[in-house]
Amino acid sequence: MANVTVIGAQWGDEGKGKIVDWLASRADVVARFQGGHNAGHTLVVGDQTYKLSLLPSGIVRGTLSVIGNGVVLDPWALRAEVAKLAGQGVAVTPETLHIADTCPLILPFHRDLDALREDASGQGKIGTTRRGIGPAYEDKVGRRAIRVCDLAHLGDLGPQIDRLCAHHDALLAGFGEPPIDRGRLERDLAEIADFVLGFARPVWLTLQEARARGDRILFEGAQGVLLDVDHGTYPFVTSSNTIAGTAAGGTGMGPAAAGFVLGIVKAYTTRVGAGPFPTELDDAVGQRLGERGREFGTVTGRKRRCGWFDAVLVRQSCAVAGVTGIALTKLDVLDGLEEIRICTGYRLGGRSYDHLPAHARDQAAVEPVYEAMEGWAESTAGARSWAQLPAQAIKYIRRVEELIRCPVALVSTSPEREDTILVRDPFAD
C-alpha cells in the first residue's frame, strides 16, 4: 500500500479537510509537515463539525497524528484547540498526538510583530493572518528560534533569548514599541512547557517505525501551491513551501515516502486576502459562487474572492508539486449555471502565456482567455457515482482533466465525507 500526500493545488481553502478526513479513516498515521495555525480545515463527521487550525485532521478519529518539524507551533493556540476538541468529545492524548521535538515555537512577540508590520505596510500589505507565522519562520532560518526541545531546558535559554532580543528589540524600537519583556517570556514558557512536552517526540523515528510496520501514512499539507514561498504569487504567499516535496524535509522522511500526491482543487477558484487573481468575478456569478459555496475563511472568517476555474494555474501547480491525481471538490456549487467558463490561457501586452508570469505586476495585469461550456440544471449534490452525475457535469470534469494534464482521482459533491466519487484509490497505488 502506498502513502499519500495531500496538498492544495490552488490558493488554499480547496476543501482539504473533508478529503483528508475521508483518507484518514483508512490511514494509520496522519502527519502535518508545514505551516502553522494559519491553516484552516473543516471536517464534517455525522452531525458534528470540527474546525481545526493546527492539529492534523486524523485527530478527530483517534488516528495517530503527527506535527512535523516543518510546522511552526504556537503552544497556546495548541492548548486552546485541544481544549475545544475536548469540549466536542475528542480526547487528544500523548498516544494520539506526537509533536516533533525540533518544532520552532511561535511566541507572543511574533504575533505582535506580524500585526505591526502589516499595519505599517500601507499599499504593501500582503494579507497576513497576523498569527506570527512569518516572523517565527524568519527566526528559524536566522537560527534564533526557541524549539519544543528547549522547553525541557529552560535554565539554558539565556543565550538564545539574548539572540532573540538583539534582533527583535531593534525591530520593536523602530515601531516605537517597548522591548521584549524577558521575565514575562520566561514565565510564559515555564507555564506552557509541561503541556507541550507531554506530546514531544522525535517524530522522524515515529514515522520510520510506522513505515517499517507497513503502516499507511497520510501527509497533510496546509494552504496551497499558489501560496508557496517559491512557487506561489510572491510576495502574496505564505512563509513556507507548500508543495509535496516539503513532506520529506518537514517530517524527517525521505522523498520516496511521499507516495501518491493528491492535489485538492475546487471546481472554481477562490482566494482570501490580497494578491493577483486572473479569473476573479466581481459580478452576480461571483456573488453566487461565494454564497452557494459558503466562502468564508475557516481561520479568519474573511470573505473569499471567487472566480472561474483557472486551468493554467492548476496545471502549473500540478507540475511543480508533482501531483499524481486531483480531488475535484465543490462540483455542486456549479449546479444551475447556464454557462460555465474555464480559463485556458492568458494575454499580456499582445503576447499569449500558458503559465503565470513570475512578476507580481505582470500577474496582476494578465487577461484570462476563456473557453465556455454549457452548464447543467440537474443537482450533483450528494452524488456518489458517475451514474448520478449529469452528462454535462461529466463533460466538464473530463475537460478539466485535459487542460490541467492530470487525472481526477476523486470528486466531492458535498461537505459530507461519504458524498465522494472514487475514481482512483490513492492508497492502492
Query: pLDDT tens digits, residue range 136-192?
Result: 999 999 999 999 999 999 999 999 999 999 999 999 999 999 999 999 999 999 999
Which position has the grid cell 459558503?
294
Distance CA 409, CA 388 (A): 17
115, pLDDT greater than 90? no
Distance CA 73, CA 240 (A): 13
249, pLDDT greater than 90? yes
Coil/strand/helix, residue 264 = strand
| Nearest CA-CA partner of 169 in 129, 119, 105, 112 | 112
pLDDT at 349: 93
Max alpha carbon distance in the chain (Å)? 67
Distance CA 125, CA 213 (A): 47
202: which residues sit within 8 A by CB, 6+ positions away?
100, 101, 252
pLDDT at 271: 93
258, pLDDT greater than 90? yes
117, pLDDT greater than 90? no
pLDDT at 116: 87
For the chain, the average pLDDT equals: 93
pLDDT at 300: 62
- Mean pLDDT (whole number) for 9-21: 88
**0.85 exceeded by pTM:** yes
**What confidence category does residue 296 fall into, taking pLDDT thresholds of 50, 70 and 90?**
confident
pLDDT at 301: 67
- Mean pLDDT (whole number) for 92-111: 96
- Mean pLDDT (whole number) for 303-310: 94
**Taking a C-beta distance cutoff of 8 angstroms, is the pair 262, 426 a contact?**
yes
- Catalytic residue numbers, as ranges: 13, 41
> String of b and e for 26-51 (b: at least 16 CB within 10 Å)?
ebbbbbbbbbbbbbbbbbbbeeeebe
222, pLDDT greater than 60? yes
**What confidence category does residue 298 fall into, taking pLDDT thresholds of 50, 70 and 90?**
low
| Nearest CA-CA partner of 231 in 17, 11, 404 | 11
pLDDT at 43: 77
Beta-ladder partners of 64: 29
1, pLDDT greater than 60? no
At residue 391, φ and ψ (nearest 5 deg) are: -60, -35
Per cent of the chain over pLDDT 90 is 80
Length of the chain: 429
pLDDT at 272: 87
> Greater confidence, 19 or 374?
374
Inter-CA distances, 287 with 272, 296, 336, Å: 15, 12, 14
- Mean pLDDT (whole number) for 242-246: 96
Check the CA dihedral 141-143-149-150 and report its sign: negative
Q: What is the pLDDT of residues 29-69, one digit of tens each?
A: 999 999 999 877 777 777 788 888 899 988 998 899 999 99
